Amino acid sequence: MILVTGGAGFIGANFVINWLAQSDEPVVNLDKLTYAGNLETLSSLRHDARHIFVQGDIGDQELVFSLLTKYQPRAIVNCAAESHVDRSIHSPEDFIQTNVVGTYRLLEAARAYWAQLEEAAKLAFRFLHVSTDEVYGSLSTVAPAFSENHRYEPSSPYSASKAASDHLVRAYHHTYGLPVLIINCSNNYGPYQFPEKFIPLMIVNALAGKSLPVYGDGRQVRDWLYVNDHCSAICCVLKAGRSGEVYNVGGRSEKLNIETAYIVCAVLDELRPRADGKSYKEQIALVKDRPGHDRRYAIDARKIERELGWKPVETFESGIQKTIQWYLSNPEWVSRVQSGVYREWGGTSFTAISQ
């Protein structure tokens, strides 16, 4: 048994789906179901007894400890986080509460549970914390990619809150001996991503005939990682990662934001041409840059490749094809997210506990 937090969000849900497709080991899935948590994403698991969904907050220490005591998981995979930079600029408190206070309380519950385990179970237990490359700050166009030893220089309330959570996780390892693992990943994309994020926003707005907003001059660089590759990296680190270590996970796919927008438009031109025969590129619009916008992210993933043998399977070209095809094939999922109806989709068809 493993416990996954934030397992109804984008990365967490993809991880749960991938995990249960490859393993019979059950998952307890704890998610608060904020706006980004979507049970419809997990609809394929609604009759799967290996998936136990619990609506609850990682900041509820008593609840987390009770789940750990009841289900006795061998690992916690912490995907729970507020993650949208724009939202963090407008409402930073939510990010402090979830990413900092929530992680602290989750760690406290994990520490209390771990301390009472038999010695063999204590040695086998892992607390895997999913974080972001944004904690490292911004790179110049010629600087080497982020390594695990790069200094933390977060630029937004979001990245600062994730940096704080990373420091807490490290501290619980060094102070208490809690066996932890940290993954700092680059920008994820793929199926089931909330349409406020850049790539699904480009896809959804393009199909709706709306403007495709690109911040500033569009020359910010991001390293794109297909979400299923990230899920395989999490499995790899959970299985063989060394306790206390950090692993950077990237897709080897640095792209300018404007270039990414052009690629999305070109694929849509091929798969779903506009009725007027024009290119979706005509809908791209440069808009006022957001405050403190980091210029470039890039991940040096040689450590996980060297030590654990992990490499991404998807190129950006193959991953973006799969992603756009998924959104074209699942318009109902998108429309229900946009309308808010997805939040009314109860957990009664799951093996569920509502808190």
Q: Annotated catalytic residue: which of 104, 136, 158, 297?
A: 158
134 is catalytic: yes
Enumerate the β-bridge partners of residue 321: none
The residues, ordered by sequence, that sit 6+ positions from 259 with a Cβ below 8 Å of its Cβ are none
How do strand 221-226 and strand 254-256 relate by DSSP bridges?
A: antiparallel
Of 80, 76, 58, give the one whose Cα is nearest residue 114. Answer: 76
User: Radius of gyration of the chain from Cα atoms?
Assistant: 20
215 catalytically annotated: no
Q: Residue 78 and residue 126: Cα distance in Å, rounded? A: 11
Catalytic residue (one of 31, 60, 82, 133)? 133
Q: Cα separation of 352 and 85, whole Å?
A: 31
Q: What is the 3-state secondary structure (H, E, C) of the chain?
A: CEEEECCCCHHHHHHHHHHHHHCCCCEEEEECCCCCCCHHHHHHHCCCCCEEEEECCCCCHHHHHHHHHHHCCCEEEECCCCCCHHHHHHCHHHHHHHHHHHHHHHHHHHHHHHHCCCHHHHHHCEEEEEEEHHHHCCCCCCCCCECCCCCCCCCCHHHHHHHHHHHHHHHHHHHHCCCEEEEEECEEECCCCCCCCHHHHHHHHHHCCCCEEEECCCCCEEEEEEHHHHHHHHHHHHHHCCCCCEEEECCCCEEEHHHHHHHHHHHHHHHCCCCCCCCHHHHEEEECCCCCCCCECCECCHHHHHHHCCCCCCCHHHHHHHHHHHHHHCHHHHHHHHHCHHHHCCCCCCEEEEC
Check 60, 134, 223, 300 and give the catalytic one: 134
Residues tagged active-site = 133-134, 158
